[in-house]
Amino acid sequence: MLIRSGDDWVRVESAHALWRVTGDTAEARAVLTDEVRPLVDGDVLPVRRAALRYLADMGAATEPVLAVARAVESSPRRLADSGGWRTFVQDEEIRAAAAAITRSR
């Protein structure tokens, strides 16, 4: 299956599609959760932002997902993978997804 791909984007987008088509959150959430864990350490990539957004859309906040969301919300630094004005946009996007996750609990 594509959710076991070695490519991060393929895995994340496949997990999102699997959830959208089947409505089953279990497999998709596991893949997306693995992808967002590095956000706790400030390791931000576009694919991680997408995975966090998808988890927020799913509304499936497990304890590991909540831990990541809380770490993102409490981070004192800007969470972004690029500089300039995009830093603020990306940080706000990540924090909005994290807030949606913690509110869904």
Range(s) of the domain holding residue 74: 2-104
Tokens for 11? Answer: 């895995």
* pTM score of the predicted model: 0.93
Among the residue ranges 31-40, 44-53, 58-67, 69-78, the one predicted with the least confidence is: 58-67
**Which pLDDT band, with edges at 50, 70 and 90, does 1 fall under?**
low
Written as six digits, the tokens of 33 are: 């959760």
- Give the count of alpha carbons within 13 A of 51, CB side only: 28
Number of domains in the chain: 1
- Tokens for 90, please give them: 């990306």
> Could you read off the pLDDT of 26-51 as tens digits, one per residue?
999 999 999 999 999 999 999 999 99
Q: How far is CA 103 from CA 14, 61, 88, 99, in A?
A: 26, 9, 22, 6
**Tokens (6 digits) for 102:** 């913690």
